[in-house]
Chain A
């Protein structure tokens, strides 16, 4: 596997988009921490950045990369390599590169300004979101032959996780307003990696006091060992499952 991986990473980290991604993250994060007099506020703004930009860049960049690499993938396929090896190399290549980019761009400023557990948790969340959205992008790309359509689907998926899903939750809270639905809503929100990440970090910040009873329910859950194990499992499943299905499809795909 590392026969190809090394070269894939080398290729991606020298990509202009990835370089601008690093610069963008770095400038914004540094700027946010310097502008906000309150470091907690700075972390909050960074959280929004992480929840918004990281999934978007991860999913779109990876999708485009996979499509642009179609001839390269063919060439690799003509070599004595397992399809699994090729696909996983691409996945690891993309994830590792984007994670490196995130850690340099956002992780370093966070560690400088916020070198505590909350800061580290933000970094973990960003790493997970990178992994998850690379994985989802592979699934989108492997199932769609047409590049434009594939990128469209990637954007839709991002919109779904970043916006539409929350809209559905909002709708549910109104529909079921007469019932004690905190736990149900919590369970549903946990299914969206972006929401789960947002709440996990938010609960470690002062702002969580504003979340009232709902926040308390989540705090109790995420404060317990079971809660942490379940959330971590959910995040891990979120990149393993799409990766598994994309691999299954790729193994039988005509190129």
Chain B
């Protein structure tokens, strides 16, 4: 008997699911019978679709509290009049796509957003344009949600005055892909978000970080572009994060980093491109991590490794045109450099096997000095410093003995 009961339950579930196939489509809009979105939502039943036509809508707060598909046709404009949270999603399985949202309210206690997802699963937010909002898309306690192909643009100047473009908090299994964020506090913000993917996003000119990432284990971010953000990208207090093939470009300023890594372990930084950053990667408290096959180009410092780092394996990277290749505040360095290409390498390769015969010491004396003694930066690019560095390269005496690449490559790696 038991299998039959199970089968019955299974079919009933199947039936109820397939019922959605017969759900109805509601049209709402200026030229429709149903003028307002809120009205459309209130008459809709679960799994209905609502198509909203072109026009401007001032509906204060739109609450989606049942599983619905909302589709904007020709980007209907939802305006929050700088007072309201425009869309609040408080149900599972909501699809929200094709809208233009602008001017969400601003409040520091409630953090209103253009679109906010509350405790929901399987929500899809895609293809929207969000302008001049406090927070763009905000997800709290979301599971299995997708944020795809949205364009989120603001013109923030002060980080106190503006929220994040995509803000995810205490969530799991999110996919953030193909979004474009600009001018917010942080482009993408992750706190306590696990098992998620950030893929092919562009994060530009945000006031603080392009990506701000904390306590978010087992995530990957792949093929994103982080460009010209106030402080670059910060990844902190996280295990097992994978960073593949991202671009970190022109994060330039007194305290800007390609990536700031803090208390990270078991992570992978592979195939990324760090170009024109004040510091390519700043590592503090990083352990058991791999930095491989990246390109470091024209950075102030390619790497700044604090003494608190252990077992960072830095192999097969290209270091080209950086002012300083490596900076460190420690003397005993428990990290490994192997088989990288360093454009400043001046050694020789007698047997022509592509591996230099003398080790390369990527740390210059001056970068050691200023790490201990900040005011000495006043001597930056002075003749004396140039001479000091040259002589130290010839007869190393002060730079850490074991910080060296034993097998420096003589040719650039094709990456």
Contact = CB atoms under 8 A, between A and B. Distances in A.
Tell me, yes or no, whether A binds B. Answer: yes
Interface in B194-212: none
Given A170-B376, A206-B252, A213-B374, A163 B387 contact: yes
A194 B373 CA distance: 22
Contacts of B377: 210-212, 214-215
Contact of A185 (B375, B380, B381): B375
Contact of B323 (A52, A167, A210, A215): A210
Interface centre among B256, B323, B374, B375, by most chain A C-beta atoms within 10 angstroms, is B375
Given A44-B381, A48-B381, A166-B385, A173 B256 contact: no
Contact of B278 (A51, A52, A166, A209): A209
B378 A207 contact: no
Interface SS of chain A: helix, strand, loop or mixed? helix
B108 interface: no
Contacts of B44: none
Nearest to A36: B321
Contacts of A198: 381-382
B380 A186 contact: no
A177 B380 contact: no
B105 interface: no
A203 to B, nearest CB: 10
A209 B380 contact: no
B300 A209 contact: yes
Nearest to B298: A38
B194 to A, nearest CB: 35
A47 interface: yes
B4 to A, nearest CB: 73
B385 A212 contact: no
Interface string A183-202: 00110010000110011001
A28 to B, nearest CB: 16
B384 interface: yes
Contacts of A170: 369, 376, 379, 384
A195 B382 CA distance: 8
A206 to B, nearest CB: 7
Interface residues on A, range: 35 or more
Interface string A161-185: 0110011011001100100011001
B376 A173 contact: yes
A212 B381 contact: no
Given A166-B379, A170-B384, A185-B375, A212 B254 contact: yes
Nearest to A177: B373
A210 B383 contact: no
A52 B383 contact: yes
B253 interface: yes
A185 B380 CA distance: 13
A214 B374 contact: yes
A147 to B, nearest CB: 27
Contacts of A207: 300, 323, 380-381
Contacts of B373: 173-174, 177
Residue from A166, A186, A189 with most neighbouring chain B CB atoms (10 Å) = A166
A108 interface: no
A238 interface: no
Interface in B356-379: 369-370, 372-379
A188 to B, nearest CB: 9
Nearest to B376: A173
Nearest to A211: B377
Nearest to B385: A166
Contacts of A182: 375
B378 A169 contact: yes
5 contacts: A48-B381, A48-B386, A162-B383, A209-B300, A213-B254
Interface of A: 38, 41, 44, 47-48, 51-52, 162-163, 166-167, 169-170, 173-174, 177, 181-182, 185-186, 189, 194-195, 198-199, 202, 206-207, 209-216, 218
